[in-house]
Amino acid sequence: MGTLLVHITCGPEAPTRAALGLLVCRAAGDAGHQVNVFLAGDAVQLVRDAVLDSLSGLGTGSLRESFDGVVAKGGRLYVSGMSSKTRGVTDADLDGKPAEFAMPDRLVQLAFEADRTLTYCWVTSTFRSISCTPTGLSSPRRTTSRISGNEP
């Protein structure tokens, strides 16, 4: 099977978007793919146990269930060191998890090693997922997300 890198930048402020990224990671692991997850920006907070245990997305389920599914299938997490420092994420938050702090050069390395790369990010009022292949970028797909509730 292949190697998938998923780069997530949405955090607890956008629970459905954050949970969707990990749900896709879980599905890839369940299908037998090797999964690497790079958390950056607000997404670094997703490694905190309190966030994992309390966050659920609309239609995407429990963040904890998706996280545990990724881990059970051998998935690795890379947590932006710079984003973590500014958001107070520490070594204690990573204890017992297959996770490590990483800098942007590690993200670049992971992207070049992966067969496919997905990015889940929040750009103004548009949610984008961009898929990269060994031969280059596929056409970016833009979808406007309309989610009820108090999520932006």
Roughly how many angstroms between the first and final C-alpha of the chain, as a whole number? 36
Reported as a single tens digit per residue, the pLDDT across 132-148 is 555 444 444 443 333 33
Reported as a single tens digit per residue, the pLDDT across 63-96 is 999 999 999 999 999 999 999 999 999 999 999 9
Q: Which two three-digit tokens encode residue 70?
A: 């990724």
Which structural domains are found in the chain, ordered by start?
3-142 (3.40.1260.10)
For 30, 64, 151, the CA distances from 57, given in Å and listed in that order, are 20, 11, 10
d(CA 7, CA 119): 5
d(CA 18, CA 30): 19
Q: For tokens 């990224």, what's the residue?
A: 21
